[in-house]
Amino acid sequence: MTAHIIDGKAFAAQVRARVADQVAMLKDQHDLTPGLAVVLVGEDPASQVYVRSKGKLTVEVGMASFEHRLDAGTPQSDLLALIARLNADPEIHGILVQLPLPSHIDSDLVINAIDPAKDVDGFHISNVGLLGTGQKSMVPCTPLGCLMMLRAHHGSLSGMNAVVVGRSNIVGKPMAQLLLGDSCTVTIAHSRSKDLPAICRGADILVAAVGRPEMIPGDWVKPGATVIDVGINRVAHGDKTKLVGDVHFESAAQVAGAITPVPGGVGPMTIACLLANTVTAACRAHGLPEPEGLTA
Ligand SMILES: Nc1nc2c(c(=O)[nH]1)N[C@@H](CN(C=O)c1ccc(C(=O)N[C@@H](CCC(=O)O)C(=O)O)cc1)CN2
């Protein structure tokens, strides 16, 4: 194995430590405690784990955590009424509705009901538009985490060929916007792209976000490239299960210059960046300078 393994778990711990320092400063100097509200509708097991972890880590960095768990059958109007209350609450600087939502709820409608200034997921249409036009916005957590790791590894990304495999609103599209903002030459590819292997082989930075277990083998990777694996896929492993990414790690690590593992790569950065976004939102709400190194 030749590639440098980018340790997302350790990197996320560093980001959370910076967030904790910023929270302590806001409390000491401005009597301000950033607050994050997380809303979970239903009992999806993975979502329950993520929401529990978000609450625990929010408290760990010194912020106030508000958790709202609603029944799977909650009417959309009740969820919208809760969001309206959270929008109006001055103690809450960040609001996150855990996805996926049950099928009777219109996710876009719900996300767009969140005050864009409190939209710490960066999914509101206003934030999408601001990011797309290079203006100050709330930036989606997973792509922000990927960008932070890439910047830390490379310094400048300017002029690099970046290929993002996956075109989701949550990861693929904002990831491409962020890489473009750092002056990469960006290609967005997907499962129907013609000659996907050749497109991937042209990438200095390859971001895999397709949601297909181990779809990208090592011979699609340019020697020395940096591979960021966003996939989190649970697959059968004997009589148990295990997590794998969208990249076939063993073969890709023989070729890449650097690679993120699954688990322990991009995943932990998602929650660290959620906490970073909440501090940023609290600073903006109070007209205070934004923390350095925690935004795009
Ligand atoms: N409103 C949102 N919903 C969802 C988001 C999101 O950013 N906003 N992202 C994902 C889930 N997610 C956070 O919500 C998330 C996924 C994975 C991890 C993580 O740390 N993964 C670990 C492995 C954990 C495990 O063992 O299962 C890793 O990769 O090392 C954190 C957060 C969908 N929904």
pLDDT digits (tens, 9 = 90+) for 115-139: 999 999 999 999 999 999 999 999 9
54 is catalytic: yes
Return the CATH architecture of domain 141-268.
3-Layer(aba) Sandwich (3.40)
**1: pLDDT strictly greater than 80:** no
**57: pLDDT strictly greater than 90:** yes
Please work out whether the CB of residue 270 comes within 6 Å of at least one atom of ligand 1.
yes
Domain boundaries, the chain: 28-117, 141-268
pLDDT tens track for 248-257: 999 999 999 9
3-state SS, one letter per residue, for 152-194: HHHCCCCCCEEEEECCCCCCHHHHHHHHHHCCCEEEEECCCCC
Q: How much is the pLDDT for 226?
A: 98
Q: What is the ipTM of this complex?
A: 0.97
**148: pLDDT strictly greater than 70:** yes
At residue 164 the predicted structure's pLDDT band, cuts being 50, 70 and 90, is: very high
* pLDDT-above-70 percentage for the chain: 100
* Mutational test site, ligand 1, from 6, 7, 50, 244, max ligand atoms within 8 Å of CB: 50
Q: Is the pTM of this model over 0.90?
A: yes
CATH of 28-117, picked from 3.20.19.10, 2.30.110.10, 1.10.246.90, 3.40.50.10860, is 3.40.50.10860
121 is catalytic: yes
DSSP 277: H
DSSP 227: E
CA distances in angstroms from 170 to 21, 72, 164, 250, listed in the order given? 28, 22, 13, 27
* Mutational test site, ligand 1, from 232, 271, 275, max ligand atoms within 8 Å of CB: 232
Please work out whether the CB of residue 267 comes within 6 Å of at least one atom of ligand 1.
yes
Q: How much is the pLDDT for 191?
A: 86
Topology alike, domains 28-117 and 141-268 = yes
Please work out whether the CB of residue 123 comes within 6 Å of at least one atom of ligand 1.
no
Taking only Cα atoms into account, the Rg of the chain, rounded to an integer number of angstroms, comes to 19
At residue 81 the predicted structure's pLDDT band, cuts being 50, 70 and 90, is: very high
222 is catalytic: no
Mean pLDDT, residues 266-284? 98
8 A C-beta contact, residue 246 and residue 211:
yes
Report the alpha-carbon distance of residue 116 to residue 87 in Å, rounded: 9
Q: Which two tokens stand for residue 246?
A: 């969208």
Please work out whether the CB of residue 264 comes within 6 Å of at least one atom of ligand 1.
yes
CA distances in angstroms from 289 to 30, 31, 32, 237, listed in the order given? 12, 15, 13, 49
Q: Is 271 annotated as a binding residue?
A: no
**70 φ/ψ angles, rounded to the nearest 5 degrees:** -115, 150
Tell me which residue of 74, 107, 139, 129 sits closest to 278, measured CA to CA: 139
Mean pLDDT of the chain: 97
Burial of 151 (0-12, 13-18, 19+ CB in 10 A): middle
243 forms beta bridges with: 234
